[in-house]
């Protein structure tokens, strides 16, 4: 799981492929969107808007959990799922770093063309 306060340097070293892979599925992206409200939800609540079985939703939630995007806590007989924003924040910082590198490369190219 990601931790708050990561520096840009550690963001460069982290492997973001599992996060991209987890978010690359429409169902998982929809589950994350539902959990972004800050409310914990059980599998039955998460499955309401999908034409999928609870078992299929559970498999999607496990992928999100393995990527560090969600975590679950037992509450009585059910598991309640929560969104963890830290991996997305780390990913955002990483993408900003890459965008900055692209901007620098483009500026170098423009200066070469203008000369």
Average pLDDT over residues 1-22: 63
Q: Is the pLDDT of residue 7 over 60?
A: no
Higher local confidence (pLDDT), 2 or 17: 17
Domain ranges (residues) in the chain: 14-114
How does pLDDT run across 73-114, given as a tens digit for each residue?
A: 998 999 999 999 999 999 999 999 999 988 888 888 888 888
Cα atoms in the Cβ-side hemisphere of radius 13 Å centred on 22: 23
From the list 54, 59, 28, 53, the residue with the least C-alpha distance to 43 is 54
How does pLDDT run across 30-75, given as a tens digit for each residue?
A: 999 999 988 999 999 999 989 999 999 999 999 999 999 999 999 8
- CA dihedral (46, 52, 54, 56) in degrees, to 10, reads -110
Give CA–CA dist 32/7, Å, rounded: 24
- pLDDT band of residue 13 (cuts 50, 70, 90) is low
CATH code, 14-114 = 1.10.10.10
């Amino acid at each position: 799981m990601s931790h708050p306060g990561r520096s840009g340097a550690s963001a460069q070293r982290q492997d973001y492929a599992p996060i991209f892979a987890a978010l690359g599925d429409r169902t998982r992206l929809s589950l994350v969107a539902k959990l972004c409200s800050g409310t914990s939800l059980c599998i039955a609540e998460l499955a309401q808007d999908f034409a999928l079985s609870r078992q299929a939703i559970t498999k999607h939630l496990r992928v999100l959990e393995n990527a560090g995007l969600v975590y679950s806590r037992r509450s009585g007989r059910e598991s309640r799922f929560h969104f963890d924003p830290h991996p997305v924040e780390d990913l955002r910082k990483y993408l900003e770093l890459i965008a900055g590198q692209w901007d620098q490369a483009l500026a170098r190219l423009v200066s070469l063309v203008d000369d």
